[in-house]
Amino acid sequence: MNKKIQLQDLGNKDYKATWDYQETLFKEIVEIKLLKRAKPELVTPNYFLFVEHPHVYTLGKSGDMSNLLLSEKQLEAKGATFYKINRGGDITYHGPGQIVGYPILDLENFFTDIHKYLRFLEEVIILTLAEYNIIGARSEGETGVWLDVGTPFARKICAMGVRASRWVTMHGFALNVNANLGYFDNIIPCGIKGKAVTSLHVELGKTIDEEEVKSKIVKHFQMLFEAEFIKNASLVDF
């Protein structure tokens, strides 16, 4: 089993270009897995991408278009794009001030349990928030990380949606760190009515060092997955 994960920070990248890049890495891993049937000595790689996207709304394969509250012209006016994509979940927003993480892993290198995988992703964020004295929690039946669950003030701080095939994952999580929450007003986030969203900077009342948050995410991800991150992995131009 290969527990090394190549870490790539892509900076600010177009959503579709990043999605295509994810697909390239995903297919690479799947192809190696197929070859392993004849050559069991082959090792599948693992990747973790950090990225920040320009304003974009994405709708999961089971999502409802009515949860996007903007027309095509209104999207253009806000400088935002929209994509229907192949992850689970409903609609969400990505934009500046948000840390997006895409683990592209062969789970057979770690464990073969999608439910456990999602819970571990949530736990990574919960442990990261705890370092800022913020109590993150799960909300039953609603993937992601929330604050003040079970109260009238429940609000989501991290959305999650993944795709998995042959135990290979893609897509991931989006943690609001210094995000402009006004963009969430244009959707029914994750298709859940009557629930608010928040951002780390709103909760703490100050701008947050995003590089510091990334380092904490990496630390907790490595610990939970018993993995080793290879930092500054060579980037592929796309």
Task: Classify strands 228-230 and 142-147 as parallel, antiparallel or unpaired.
Answer: unpaired
Q: Residue 62: inside a domain, yes or no?
A: yes
What is the pLDDT, as a whole number, of residue 167?
97
58 is in an annotated binding site: no
What CATH number did the domain enclosing 74 receive?
3.30.930.10
160 marked as part of a ligand binding site = yes
CA 86 to chain centre: 13
Q: Is the pLDDT of residue 49 over 90?
A: yes
Beta bridge partners of 158: 145, 175
- 57 known member of a binding site: no
195 located within any domain = yes
Per-residue pLDDT tens digits for 68-102: 888 878 888 888 999 888 887 778 899 999 999 99
Q: Which of 158, 177, 190, 213 is catalytic?
A: 190
Does position 238 have pLDDT exceeding 80, yes or no? no
161 annotated among ligand-binding-site residues: yes
* Nearest residue to 57 via CA among 76, 77, 83, 79: 83
193: pLDDT strictly greater than 60:
no
- Residue-by-residue DSSP string for the chain: ---EEEEEEEEE--HHHHHHHHHHHHHHHHHHHHHTTT-TT-----EEEEEEPSSEEEE-TT--GGGB---HHHHHHTT-EEEE-SSSSSEEEE-TTEEEEEEE-BGGGT-S-HHHHHHHHHHHHHHHHHTTT--EEEETTEEEEEESTTSTT-EEEEEEEEEEETTEEEEEEEEESS--GGGGGGB-GGG-TT-EE--HHHHHTS---HHHHHHHHHHHHHHHHT-EEETTPPPPP-
Domain count, the chain: 1
Q: What is the mean pLDDT of residues 135-159?
A: 93
Whether 236 maps to a domain, the answer reads no
pLDDT digits (tens, 9 = 90+) for 215-231: 999 999 999 999 999 98
194 pLDDT exceeds 70? no
Which amino acid makes up residue 35? Answer: L
pLDDT of residue 237: 56
Question: What's the pLDDT band for 189 if we cut at 50, 70, 90?
Answer: low
235 pLDDT higher than 80: no
Residue 238 belongs to a domain: no
- Distance (Å, rounded) from C-alpha 213 to C-alpha 210? 5
Residue 151 predicted with pLDDT over 70: yes
Give yes or no for a contact between 47 and 104, defined as CB atoms under 8 angstroms apart: yes
Asked whether residue 235 is assigned to any structural domain, the reply reads: no
- The pTM for the full model equals 0.92
Grade residue 146 by pLDDT with cuts at 50, 70 and 90: very high
Q: Please give the average per-residue pLDDT across 25-35, as a whole number.
A: 96
Q: 69 versus 211: which is more confidently predicted?
A: 211
Asked if pLDDT for residue 233 goes beyond 80, the answer is no
Whether 158 is catalytic is no
Q: Find out whether 94 is annotated in a ligand binding site.
A: yes
Lowest mean pLDDT, pick from 4-8, 50-54, 184-188: 184-188
Decide if 237 is inside a domain: no
**From the CB of residue 195, how many other CB atoms can be counted at a distance below 10 Å?**
14
Whether 99 is in a domain gets the answer yes
Range of the domain at 87: 4-230
Residue 90, marked binder = yes
In degrees and rounded to multiples of 5, residue 165 shows phi and psi of -145, 135
Q: pLDDT band for 1, please (50, 70, 90 cuts).
A: confident
The pLDDT value given to residue 74: 87
pLDDT band, residue 40 (cuts 50/70/90): very high
- Annotated binding residue at 89? yes
Residue 199 to residue 161: CA distance in whole angstroms:
18
Asked whether residue 76 is domain-assigned, the answer is yes
If you average pLDDT over residues 136-157, what whole number do you get? 93
173 is in an annotated binding site: yes
Asked whether residue 63 is marked as a ligand-binding residue, the answer is no
The pLDDT mean for the chain works out to 91
Mean pLDDT to the nearest integer, 229-238: 66
Higher confidence at residue 184 or residue 194?
A: 184
